[in-house]
């Protein structure tokens, strides 16, 4: 086990991983593969809260850059996360994993509202709870939503599955000499503005002592490997001396 005594995790998936190899939108085959990863993690006995981004469909900042009102564009981004949550729900249920979607923007015909005690009960019953619409307010991201739900639901760690395998000192897609950290502390991430999650999410995790594990969700079986301590990842936590491999 990567982190001792981990019983409940929050898994955050960037919207862009739902695109698979497409340039936009939802690749249902790839979502089915992701659902398989979640199922395998659940079968290890973990309780799982899921948060999925919306960047594969719409990001508020992109809309604002094209002249849209920022708050309005952010609402569209939040709606995109609900679409992704429904796609993941469908894929998980096809694999026999029971789920509930709870949205921070109330949408009674489609899913439940966020109710912590109800989510708690779902987890006790072995359901995966997918939290949609981030924190439910514009000017935030789903990273902040993930940190908030991780704190609210008492998760032992926040696993961020994305398209890079950890935190680097420079962008590995642009700089071939970039090195990946195995561990690093929250304050260094914030002071050096390293690309992990946005600052409000990192600060919320720091203040609530929730380790952040950044790993790639693109390779098959990687979530299980990382959870078992056999994978490649960066752990952001208090007092971690910066170490790179
Ligand atoms: N968003 C928001 N408030 C939130 C969460 C999300 O306004 O609490 C909007 C914001 O516009 C963001 C978009 O939803 O750009 C999609 O989320 P995000 O960019 O976090 O998705 P990811 O990068 O993880 O795919």
- The domain spans of the chain are 8-244
CB–CB of 230/176 below 8 Å?
Answer: no
Ligand 1 closest atom vs CA 55: 25
Residue 124 phi/psi, 5-degree rounding, is -60, -35
**Alpha carbon distance 143, 25 (integer Å):** 19
Helix (H, G, I), strand (E, B) or coil at 151: helix
Residue ID of nearest Cα to ligand 1 atom 23: 55
**Measured between alpha carbons, how far is 162 from 218 in angstroms, rounded to an integer?**
7
Q: How far apart are CA 101 and CA 88, in angstroms?
A: 10
CB 159 within 8 A of CB 80: no
Q: Which pLDDT belongs to residue 231?
A: 94
Per-residue pLDDT tens digits of the chain, which is 245 residues long:
899 899 999 999 999 999 999 999 999 999 999 999 999 999 999 999 999 999 999 999 999 999 999 999 999 999 999 999 999 999 999 999 999 999 999 999 999 999 999 999 999 999 999 999 999 999 999 999 999 999 999 999 999 999 999 999 998 889 999 999 999 999 999 999 998 899 999 999 999 999 999 999 998 999 999 999 999 999 999 987 777 76
| pLDDT given for residue 36 in this prediction | 97
Q: Ligand 1: residues whose CB is within 6 Å?
A: 14-16, 53-55, 59-61, 74, 77-78, 80-81, 134-135, 137-138, 140-145
Atom of ligand 1 nearest to the CA of 59: 15
Q: Please tell me the distance between residue 141's alpha carbon and the centre of ligand 1 in angstroms.
A: 4
Q: Which of 11, 74, 76, 214 to mutate to test the pocket of ligand 1 (most atoms within 8 A of CB)?
A: 74
For domain 8-244, give the fold. Carbamate kinase (3.40.1160)
The pLDDT, as a whole number, for residue 195 is: 87
d(CA 148, CA 5): 21
Per DSSP, the residues of 41-87 read HHTTT-EEEEEE--TTT--HHHHHHTT--HHHHHHHHHHHHHHHHHH
Find the 19 Cα to ligand 1 centroid distance in Å.
16
pLDDT at 86: 98
The first and second tokens of residue 193, run together, are 């503005």
From 50, 118, 61, 53, select the one nearest 79 (Cα to Cα): 53
Q: Pick out the residues of the known binding site.
A: 12-15, 54-55, 59, 74, 135-142, 162, 168, 171
The annotated binding site for ATP is made up of 12-15, 55, 59, 162, 168, 171
Q: Which pLDDT score is estimated for 242?
A: 77
Token pair 């609402």 in the structure block, residue: 75
User: Between vectors from CA 38 to CA 14 and to CA 120, what angle results, nearest 5°?
Assistant: 95
Nearest to 97 by CA among 62, 129, 72, 68: 129
State residue 212's pLDDT score.
98
Instruction: Record the tokens describing residue 48, joined without a space.
Output: 């799982």
Can you give the pLDDT at residue 1?
83
């Amino acid at each position: 086990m990567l982190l001792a005594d981990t019983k409940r995790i929050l898994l955050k998936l960037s919207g862009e991983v739902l695109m698979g190899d497409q340039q936009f939108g939802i690749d249902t085959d790839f979502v089915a593969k992701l659902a398989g990863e979640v199922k395998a993690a659940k079968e290890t006995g973990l309780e799982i809260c899921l948060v999925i981004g919306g960047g594969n469909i719409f990001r508020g900042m992109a809309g604002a850059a094209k002249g849209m009102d920022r708050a309005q564009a952010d609402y569209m981004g939040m709606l995109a996360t609900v679409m992704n949550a429904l796609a993941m729900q469908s894929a998980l249920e096809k694999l026999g994993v029971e789920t509930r979607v709870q949205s921070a923007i109330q949408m009674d015909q489609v899913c439940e509202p966020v109710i912590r005690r109800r989510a708690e009960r779902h987890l006790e019953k072995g359901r995966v709870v997918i939290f949609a619409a981030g924190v439910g307010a514009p000017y935030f991201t789903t990273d902040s939503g993930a940190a908030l739900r991780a704190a609210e639901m008492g998760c032992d760690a926040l696993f961020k599955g994305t398209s890079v395998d950890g935190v680097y000192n420079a962008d590995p897609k642009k700089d071939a000499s970039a090195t990946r950290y195995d561990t690093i502390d929250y304050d260094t991430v914030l002071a050096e503005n390293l690309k992990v999650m946005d600052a409000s999410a990192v600060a919320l995790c720091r203040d609530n002592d929730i380790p952040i594990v950044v790993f790639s969700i693109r390779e098959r079986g990687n979530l299980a490997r990382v959870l078992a301590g056999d994978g490649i990842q960066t752990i952001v936590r208090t007092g971690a001396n910066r170490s790179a491999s």
